[in-house]
Amino acid sequence: MSGFLVRRLATILPTLLFVTILVFGLQQLLPGDPAVALSGEDRDPSVIAYLHQKMHLDDPLPVRYGYWLRDLAHGDFGESIRIQQPVLGLILEKLPVTAQLASMAILIAIVIGVSAGIVSAVKKDSIWDYGANLFALWGLSTPNFWLGIMLILLVAVKLGWLPASGYVSPAEDLRANLAAMIMPAFVLGNSYAAVLMRHTRSAMLQVLNADYVRTARAKGLDERVVVLRHALRNALIPVITLGALSFGELLGGTVLTESVFTIPGFGKLIVDAVFNRDYAVVQGVVLFTATAYIVLNLLADLGYFLVNPRMRG
């Protein structure tokens, strides 16, 4: 187990390096001269020339990657060319926002998704099962931007219960912060709940028929104990995988939902950066989100061992 952990930890750095090379390379595949994209409406040639020089755009690709890596080694993530702020500052500014939104969303997703999945598996082919499935399918087939706008029109405009969009820092005003975050978190959580519900249901059905669960039942154990202690435990493998993937995805920022609710998180940051070819921002954010992803996947792998001790072999 500890050997496994050490080996896995040792791969984090090379993986990160690989991610940054991948993203750096892909960005160069993107059409569009960043200097032209950033030079604005007037596209003054002298400005373009200046940006070329400032961003080392005329150097070969490996050299530019080298520059970036060298600065990074000195703790310098570079600067957003578009708004001229240090990338690290931008990331630290957005990180708590995205982390809060992602946590709230995944919490909602797990609470709704896993419990609905259990209920619909245990009460298979009952009205509960159908209801939970209908809910899940609705969550899956409703695009986030769509649900978001509908909720804003209903809850903010028609009912006037919550602010339509925007973000308030929890340090400034916790209640206003929650009021602003609850709708986007629900919209996000709703779509992931659907996926988790489907997986929980399927995995539960699979294990509910497994021998050891039958044995447990035969021993006369209370059905609740059977379901929660014996079945759920083993049903969790795909749920953990998906949960980790979803959380990683959420930490990477959720473009459409953040756009609709004007939440200043990673999603908006990176999309604007990609569209404006603001390379330093893209690189910096990807480095952060990739780290999150890798750590989460490592945790997921550890999670397998926890729920199924036999996998430690």
Task: Give residues 45-104 in contact with other proteins (rule: CB under 8 A).
Answer: 45-47, 50-51, 54, 80, 82-85, 90, 93
| Residue 227 found at the interface with other proteins (CB under 8 A) | no
Nearer to other proteins, 2 or 84 (CB): 84
> Minimum Å distance from CB 223 to other proteins?
18
Nearer to other proteins, 71 or 93 (CB): 93
Question: Cα dist. 182→27, 179, 226, 279 in Å?
Answer: 34, 6, 35, 32
Phi, psi of 100 (to 5 degrees): -65, -50
Binding mask of the shown chain, residues 146 to 185, with x at each position contacting other proteins by CB under 8 A = x--xx-xx--xx-xxxxxxxxx-----x-xx--x------
> Minimum Å distance from CB 116 to other proteins?
14
Nearer to other proteins, 99 or 210 (CB): 210
E-strand ranges in 2-51 read none
| Residue 140 found at the interface with other proteins (CB under 8 A) | yes
Distance (Å, rounded) from C-alpha 120 to C-alpha 123?
Answer: 5
Which residues lie below 8 Å from residue 49, measured CB to CB, with a gap of 6+? 35
> Minimum Å distance from CB 61 to other proteins?
14
In 3D space, the residue among 10, 15, 38, 188 whose CA is nearest the CA of residue 98 turns out to be 188
Count the Cβ atoms, other than its own, within 10 Å of residue 238: 15
Binding mask of the shown chain, residues 259 to 298, with x at each position contacting other proteins by CB under 8 A = xxxx-x---xxxxx-xxxx----x--xx--xx--xx--x-
- Point out which residues pair with 86 in neighbouring strands: 79
